[in-house]
Structure 1
Amino acid sequence: MTGLATQPVVYSFTDHRVHRQDPPLIIAEGDGIRVRDVNGTEYIDALSGLWHANLGFSEPDLIAAATAAYAELPAYACALGRTSAETVLLAEELLQAAGGEFGSVYFGASGSEAVESVLKFLWLAGNTGGTPARKLIVTRDSGFHGTTLGAATLAGIPRQHDGFDLPLPFAVRVPRVHFYRDHLDGESEDEYVARIVRTTRERIVAAGPENVAAMVAEPVMAAGGVLVPPDGYWPAMAKLLVELDIPLVSDEVVCGFGRLGHLFGYQRFGLEPAAVTVAKGITAGYAPLGAVLLGADLTAAIAAAADTHGVLGHGSTFGGHPVAAAVARANLRIIRERKLYARVAELEALLKTSLEELLNLPVVGEVRCVGGLAAVELMADGVARRPFDPERGIGRRVAAEARAAGLIVRDLGDVIALCPPLITSATDVVEIVSKLRAAIEAAVTEEAR
């Protein structure tokens, strides 16, 4: 079956030059947190596929929910004033689980579509609500919000713009939050937070707060390096946004559905967003689904827009698909009945303790962990915060060594990201960290030759 690797697939987030010599990994089956390729080689997938397989790769209750839904209503759309019962029930359950903070749910089929949709809803609200100048979106360096035109414009990762005539001119870019890399010598966390919040304020004021529709931000930046904010960051940012009358859209495509130990990541940080975008973990990756939870203001704005525009000219064929909705409902039941949040708290403690043992390696500058998200930052000199030459590709080498040892991680430059399924056991964590340590040591030994 190795001939499968030559099939004409365009792989996202992939350097296709590499695969001219190194064929892609073709996965055939999964069991728990492990997957096997077409040659029978087994791997621990410590990235949950692409940050999304929160319950691993063989959860029987999700498979049963999908099977039953296919037998009952295998296809329908949420459009033209019609939808499936599963879609309506999912919307009701999401709103109830969110604690009554939101008024309605829009369904798409992916995280990119969710972010793209909320941008359009924000602009629609401004156009019909008497503030048509509000078109700008505040977004952060190193942020990731999807790959469609609007969502990719918000990205603070240059490779998402290169060659695509992006970004479009509606983003107000403000600093990322990465204390380890970006703090000045002698600067405390509180001083660092005050400085970047001050810079954020200056850039928004320069653009004109009256021209800003919202800030879109991940509670914890995932693809930007698993950047965990200092304790004072989100309270200070929330205060600033209230002062400038700018709503927050919490992008929970990675952080939602238990990944940070809460239903949504914004709850961990005490935020009050005007809208929330979700995907990935909403179905634990078992079916494509995205959604936007809309607060009272945006819910009312969409309803009011009908008086001006009539038909809402936005939607998608597969948004709110009945099978995906059934899987998402089963996922919510699992989260609730198996007390997944408590399990994530245990996983966080295990990951943090185990990964911190890597700090005795001279090339490990920092370990970050929050919920079931973690990162190991590789540096030529961790104490002096001196990075490796990017051309050396140390992170890429570590990921390759890990894969050769049966461990899948993601290299984000010289940051090794981990996002293991939330069912990962203590024994699994020990094995993951052991394999990662060996991979780092092997890559550094090769670099020294």
Structure 2
Amino acid sequence: MTARTELSSTDIKSQIHPYTNLALHETAGPMVITKGEGVYVYDDKGNKYLEAMAGLFCASLGFSNSRLADAADRQMRQLPFYHSFGHKANEPSIRLAEKLLAMAPVPMSKVFFANSGSEANDTAVKLVWYYNNAVGRPQKKKIISRFRAYHGVTIASASLTGLPNNHRDFDLPIDRILHTECPHYWRNAQHGETEEDFATRCATALEQLILSEGPDTIAAFFAEPIMVSGGVIVPPKTYYAKIQAVLRRYDILLVADEVICGFARTGNMFGSQTFEMHPDMITCAKQLSAGYLPISALMVNDKIYQALISESKKIGTFGHGFTYSGHPVAAAVALETLKIYEDEHILDHVRDVIPHFQKRLQALAGHPLVGEARGQGLIGAVEIVADRESKTPFAPEFGVAAQVGVNALARGVITRALGDTVNMCPPLITTKPQIDLLFDGIESALNDTLPMAKT
């Protein structure tokens, strides 16, 4: 085996890093992670960190699961690649599709595989348009997402994303993508408004948008069960019941983005179950393979699949797909991931540790820098504010939430600051003692940041 050589300063600055201040990166450089073990990772200096974000909401089984490594090795040696074009298939992708359909929270007909949540959501947009052409509604093409939503970074999925920095100077969003209110009760509710009243107002605003655009032009509504990357926005009580009533009234498809919420994260196998959503399409990724290999899936109901059949018959083909759709190694790892969830009773474990996680999260609500502590399942966030009573945020240039993340790192905890929030989304295998380590680190980081924030 060739010995690993030390990386030079040129080596570590040879990439364009996603979601990174590239100007700052020129001088700061990256933190190089070299090893993972359970819920911990190690940098190239030997420092150990508790990974409170499961990487990017995905490493559900931690960073050293041998069953997943073995599954990849076996499949790599048997059939390292084959495509799904032109009536071809491989056994792992067939079995994975069957497994996903059996697990789906509502009846689904078929599965399309891609390589990322962005690609799955991008495909869903294309199929929404394709479907409405097939059923003779060529004007019913507009898609509604929400402010602060996150659905990906391809051109269509980034347009669905409702975060300004994903649009600025990328010339986004594209035409036919609309946004409605973010259902953040703490931030957006009016004085004296109950959660139920706020949910009614959100549904009314959605209906008004539909009516102003014309119901015959609105095709679909995209929604994450919890808006995680937008700040862990948990919907208010009755929100999805009222939203879905509006969608049914105007024959509008519901696409559930389960890329982060899927596979036990919210205390059910799918976030759609937690919030009683009944989608026509479901996208999933991340924890589908525990983050070990890139793979995503789009599940569609039979109404949509029948339209795909009729259009491909008319055209002569279904003109969409990726070289790596249903990649056999990625599919084998994903299939093994789902088996591990069952064999090791991961959902039961998650339900057992959720109360402790949420108790420790809510204990941070009393900190002087925290306006709101919010979460559901094994997802949480604290919103950093300059003044709790008025909910006034710090000026962005102060970077206070980012500083909390820096201080947490110094305490051995990796989290992620997104705007004014500090997010937590640990691996599903996290234990109660590790949850205590996580929140002890976050609390210390808040205390470390307080003097800087109050000057």
- TM-score, structure 1 as length reference: 0.98
Distance 1:387 1:345 in 2: 33
Give the equivalent residue in structure 1 for 2:444: 438
- Secondary structure, in 3 states, of the residue corresponding to 1:276? strand
Correspondent of 2:326 among 320, 324, 349: 320
Paired position in structure 1 for 2:166: 160
C-alpha contact 1:252 1:279 (8 A) present in aligned 2: yes
- The equivalent of 2:130 in structure 1 is 124
Secondary structure of the 1:28 match is strand
The question of whether the paired residues in 2 share the 8 Å contact of 1:351 and 1:369 is answered with no
Please point out which of 366, 381, 388 is paired with 1:382: 388
Q: What is the match of residue 81 of structure 1?
A: 87
Does structure 1 residue 400 correspond to structure 2 residue 373? no
1:146 to 152, 163, 170: 152
The equivalent of 1:251 in structure 2 is 257
- 1:100-157 deviations in Å (ceiling 9; x for gaps): 6000000111111101111111111111211111110011000011101111111100
| Cα offset, 1:17, TM superposition | 2.1
What is the distance in 2 between the residues matched to 1:175 and 1:66?
43
CA distance in structure 2 between the aligned counterparts of 1:191 and 1:128, rounded to whole angstroms: 38
Aligned to 2:59: 53
CA distance in 1, matches of 2:146, 2:24: 30
Distance 1:325 1:206 in 2: 44
Aligned equivalent of 1:234: 240
Deviations 1:318-350 (A, max 9, x none): 111001111111111111222222222223211
> 2 CA distance for matches of 1:342 and 1:357?
24
Give the aligned residue type for 2:147.
D
Secondary structure, aligned partner of 1:353: helix
Check whether the contact 1:394–1:444 (CA below 8 A) recurs between aligned residues. Answer: no
> 1:430, 1:244 → 2: CA distance?
47
The worse-fitting range, judged by mean Cα deviation, of 329-338 and 282-291 is 329-338
Q: Does 1:3 align with 2:3?
A: no
C-alpha distance after superposition, 1:41-96 (max 9, x if no partner): 11111111111111110112111111111111111111121021111111111111
CA distance in 1: counterparts of 2:163 and 2:40, whole angstroms: 30
Instruction: Give me the whole-angstrom Cα distance separating, in 2, the residues matched to 1:270 and 1:194.
Output: 17
Post-superposition Cα deviations, 1:216-274, rounded to whole Å, max 9, x if no partner, equal 11010011001011121111111111112111000111111111122221111111100
AA at the equivalent of 2:187: R
The code of the aligned residue for 1:49 comes to G
| Paired AA for residue 3 in structure 1 | S
Say whether the 8 Å CA contact 2:247–2:253 is kept in structure 1: yes
In the alignment, structure 1 residue 169 sits paired with structure 2 residue 211: no
Structure 2 counterpart of 1:36: 42
Count of matched residue pairs: 449
Residue correspondence of structure 1 range 171-186 to structure 2 within 5 A: 171-186=177-192
- 2:121 is the counterpart of 1:106: no
User: In the aligned structure 1, how far is the partner of 2:235 from the partner of 2:348?
Assistant: 22
Q: 1:289: which partner in 2?
A: 295
CA distance in 1, matches of 2:30, 2:106: 45
Query: Quick one: distance in 1 between partners of 2:30 and 2:374?
Result: 29
Distance across 2 between alignment mates of 1:117 and 1:361: 43
8 Å Cα contact 1:45-1:408 kept in structure 2: yes
Of 246-255 and 98-107, deviating more is 98-107
Q: Post-superposition shift, 1:384?
A: 2.6
Q: Which runs of 5+ in 1 are unaligned?
A: none
Mapping of residues 268-279 of structure 1, within 5 Å:
268-279=274-285
> Do residues 309 (structure 1) and 315 (structure 2) align?
yes
Tell me the residue number matched to 2:453. 447
Given that residues 172 and 207 in structure 1 are in contact (C-alpha distance below 8 angstroms), is that contact kept between their aligned partners in structure 2?
A: no
Q: Match of 2:268, SS?
A: coil
Residue 340 of structure 1 corresponds to: 346
Q: Counterparts of 1:37 and 1:424 in 2: how far apart (Å)?
A: 20
1:404-415 equivalent positions in 2, closer than 5 A: 404-415=410-421
Specify the alignment match of 1:266 in structure 2: 272
Rounded Cα–Cα distance in structure 1 between residues aligned with 2:114 and 2:362:
39
Of 187-196 and 79-88, more deviation after overlay is shown by: 187-196
* 1: CA distance, partners of 2:115 / 2:226: 22
What amino acid is aligned across from residue 335 of structure 1 in structure 2? Answer: Y
Give the aligned residue type for 1:380: A
Establish whether residue 426 from structure 1 lines up as the match of residue 435 from structure 2. Answer: no
Q: Does the aligned pair in 1 maintain the 2:13–2:29 contact within 8 Å?
A: no
- Mapped contact 1:44–1:406 kept (Cα < 8 A): yes
The SS at the match of 2:428 is coil
Q: Mean Cα displacement is larger for which, 355-364 or 308-317?
A: 355-364
Q: TM-score scaled by structure 2?
A: 0.96
Number of the residue aligned with 2:199: 193
- The alpha-carbon deviation at position 18 of structure 1 amounts to 2.2
Distance 1:227 1:318 in 2: 33
Unaligned runs of 5+ in 2: 1-5
Q: CA deviation at 1:204?
A: 1.2
**Cα distance between partner residues in 2 of 1:248 and 1:99:** 14
Native 8 Å contact 2:13 2:26 kept in 1: no
CA distance in 2, matches of 1:297, 1:30: 44
- Cα-to-partner distance string for 1:164-204 (whole Å, 9 max, x where unaligned): 11110111210011111111122221221111211111011
Tell me if structure 2 keeps the 8 A contact 1:153–1:161: yes
Name the counterpart of 2:3.
none
Taking every aligned residue pair, what percent have the same amino acid on both sides?
A: 35
Write the distance in 2 (CA, Å) between the matches of 1:97 and 1:177: 28
Residue identity matched to 2:21: D
Greater shift, 101-110 or 304-313, is seen at: 304-313
Residue identity in the other structure for 1:219: P
8 Å contact kept, 2:13–2:30: no
Supply the distance in 1 between the matched residues of 2:35 and 2:222 (Cα, whole angstroms).
Answer: 36
Matches within 5 A, 1:202-241: 202-241=208-247
SS at match of 1:21: helix
Instruction: For 1:295 and 1:236, locate their aligned partners in 2 and report how far apart those are by CA, in whole Å.
Output: 22
